[in-house]
Amino acid sequence: MQKHDLSYVRAELAAAEPAPAGVTGLGAWVRKNLFATPFDSALTLLGLLVVAFVIPPFINWAFISAQWTGTDRTFCSTIAQGGIQPDGWSGACWAFVNAKFSQFMFGRYPAEEHWRLILTVIMLVVLLVPMMIPRIPRKGLNAILLFGVFPIVAYILMSGGWFGLPHVETPLWGGLLVTLVLSFVGITVSLPLGIVLALGRRSKMPVVKMICVIFIEAVRGIPLVTVLFMASVMFPLFLPAGMTFDKLLRALIGVALFASAYMAEVVRGGLQAIPKGQYEGADSLGLSYWQKTGLIVLPQALKLVIPGIVNTFIGLFKDTSLVYIIGMFDLLGVVRLNFSDASWASPQTPISGLVFAGFVFWLFCFGMSRYSIYMERRLDTGHKR
């Protein structure tokens, strides 16, 4: 390089020009994301209209005009309807939810025994939270406690009859309690059963394969309502006279069998996605069928289908609300049952109860789906093809 010493040549770099005014800042963002084309502008205006029609009335209904406290229907009715609210009032009746809260949670479970349910929930949380956080060690022990010991302890605690605990019949159970019992048992039974069915469907033994295919396809082809009807009407016919099952147990069997058929198809998807080389590699190492399946194939297959498994769990959680149809009262069923409570009958009662129940269901399902996204990212080892 020659060295120039010319005064008209710059020795240092010029400072960067600021970006043109049109491409930065709020105005540019609005122009790019909301008003890029005339069609976009029209869409934005339409969207704003939708938002204006939905959000402010909802906030007004749910918070500003809502009736938070009260002892009976007069607090949630207008004067014309025989209540205390001004005519034309429209607001959520949270007083109804407030008054019925313990019923929504526990059904008709005796109030002086509620501590048993709360203790069970605490045990569940204590066992479930470390299970869900990947960093915490001793997953094996935790799993045994959660899926082996906890159900037994929880059953004894909730049902009673031992250790001086008064017995509480399952028809008294209700509300979120039944929803959670059905989903927990459904989830813990349907995953292993679904894996067994999926393995059976891919088995080389024709008889086993046929049985699994028939079961899976028959269950997937019919609505859960009919499965529950079967469990509640046909099951007693199948048993010898005098032998009866608890209604909750029958619903549990129906829900678990139903979910396991869907789970089987999800797991089968994962099994099919494992390259053949993995199976052959395991065979060449001399592993037995169960070693090959348990150590090589399933860990990879299940990881691939985590979103599908969680979706099935979410579906199961939502489907537990259908037990209302066979006369059991889960969260939604209890809410529905209370519409006919004369002391709370008002035009705002049903919608308030339903919005509350919807919010609870939404929290659980949304939580599960977020957790599945987190796990999917965490377990992603970059082998995605």
274 binds other proteins (CB under 8 A): no
168 binds other proteins (CB under 8 A): no
The answer for residues whose C-beta is within 8 angstroms of residue 372's C-beta and 6 or more apart is 306, 307, 309, 310, 311
Residue closer to other proteins (CB basis): 9 or 237: 237
- Which segment (15-23, 103-111, 156-164, 213-221) binds other proteins by CB under 8 A? 213-221
332 binds other proteins (CB under 8 A): yes
Q: From CA 166, how far away is CA 147, in angstroms rounded?
A: 25
> What are the structure tokens assigned to 204, written together?
């080389």
Identify which of 100, 67, 52 has the alpha carbon closest to the alpha carbon of residue 340.
Answer: 100
- Which segment (11-19, 114-122, 143-151, 206-214) binds other proteins by CB under 8 A? 206-214
Binding mask 39-78 for other proteins (x = CB under 8 A): -x--xx--xx-xx---------------------------
- Which segment (1-9, 188-196, 227-235, 249-257) binds other proteins by CB under 8 A? 227-235
Tell the smallest beta-carbon distance from residue 333 to other proteins (Å): 9
Q: What is the per-residue burial (b if ≥16 Cβ within 10 Å, else e) of 69-94?
A: ebebbebbbbeebebebeeebebbbb
Q: Binding to other proteins (CB under 8 A): which residues in 76-115?
A: none
Secondary structure of residue 330 in the 3-state scheme: strand
Report the Cα 338 to chain-centroid distance in Å: 24
Contact, 34 vs 40, CB < 8 A?
yes
Residue closer to other proteins (CB basis): 136 or 244: 244
DSSP assignment, residue 152? Answer: H
Residues facing 329 on adjacent strands: none
Q: From CA 22, how far away is CA 143, in angstroms rounded?
A: 58
321 binds other proteins (CB under 8 A): yes
Match 């090959």 to its residue by tokens: 292
End-to-end CA, the chain? 51
Compute how many residues bind other proteins; rule: CB under 8 A.
58
Residue closer to other proteins (CB basis): 168 or 200: 200
Tell the smallest beta-carbon distance from residue 138 to other proteins (Å): 32
- Which segment (17-25, 144-152, 313-321, 376-384) binds other proteins by CB under 8 A? 313-321
Q: From CA 190, how far away is CA 263, in angstroms rounded?
A: 7
19 binds other proteins (CB under 8 A): no
The residues of the shown chain that bind other proteins, judged by CB under 8 A, are 33-34, 36, 40, 43-44, 47-48, 50-51, 204-208, 211, 218, 220-226, 229-230, 233-234, 236-241, 283-284, 314, 318-319, 321-322, 324-325, 332, 336, 339, 347, 350-351, 354-355, 357-358, 361-362, 365-366, 369
